[in-house]
Amino acid sequence: MLQAGSRVNIIRPYLKTHFRVTCSVTKPLEILTRHKLTAQEASACFSILSQRLPIDNYLSKPSTSLDAHLRQAHSDIKVPDFCRYRRKQVRDPASCSKESEASRKVMTYGMAVGCGMVSMYCAKTVVHELVSSMGPSADVLALSKVEINLGEEFPEGKCVTMKWRGKPLFVRHRTAEEIDREQKVDISKLRDPQHDSDRVKRPEWLVLIGVCTHLGCVPIANQGDFGGYYCPCHGSHFDCSGRVRKGPAPRNLEVPYYEFPEDDLLVVG
């Protein structure tokens, strides 16, 4: 019995209850008219006011010893309904959402992937237009390449000078004697060693940029001590392969990029 009594003392604070009394306003309030109180009525003011207060029909609310907040119920508050923003599969709170999970994910991921692809395409277009705007214009690109028809107008031994990218371009149709002579040159004796076969794609056609590597002068074709090109400004001599053989020029004449798409067509650039 003593042990039971001690255990009751432990849970006694949680078993203790109290009553909270709230007045139920069933009697409407009255607006007092202006009344001049006498001395006798003034002494009985407290009793007069207490009689007019709505003190009838008290409501009691039992609770535990813990403090509880009293919540007033309001019937005029409208709870917002979010069904407009919910999908049809999840509007019913009693239905299981796992059954429609796959279809909802497919829709969400599909829209995400689609928007991502459209964004990437738009970004690619913007980057392409930006890079294109910073590149050379169409007229500049047209001048970057030159097509030369190698027909009867280019006999052997003839050297033609034309303009390419603002620079003189030498196109020479070499004879068999010139080809044989340039291929037999000992490259160990050259200032800028380079074999003739490394400077031409076809032995009979020599394509050079006509700018001297010394100070940028324009050499003269079929002149000089080696029958190739001669720079009259400072006396540099080049052979029929465009290699420097004499004079202050430090390097050979530059060979541009060119190709032969057809037998009688030369494209430089």
* Residue numbers annotated as active site: 234
Contacts of 107 (CB under 8 A, 6+ apart): none
3-state secondary structure of 12: helix
Question: Among positive and negative, which fits the CA dihedral 221, 227, 231, 237?
Answer: positive
Give the whole-angstrom CA distance, residue 267 versus residue 58.
109
**CA nearest neighbour of 214 among 241, 170, 254, 186:** 254
Q: Are 250 and 192 in contact (CB under 8 A)?
A: yes
- What tokens does 58 get? 């008290």
Amino acid identity at 138: A
**CA nearest neighbour of 59 among 18, 25, 23:** 23
- Cα angle 200, 201, 206; round to 5: 40
- The stretches of the chain forming alpha helices (DSSP H) are 2-15, 39-43, 45-52, 101-134, 138-143, 176-183
Q: Are 19 and 64 in contact (CB under 8 A)?
A: no
**What's the maximum distance between 2 C-alpha atoms anywhere in the chain?**
151
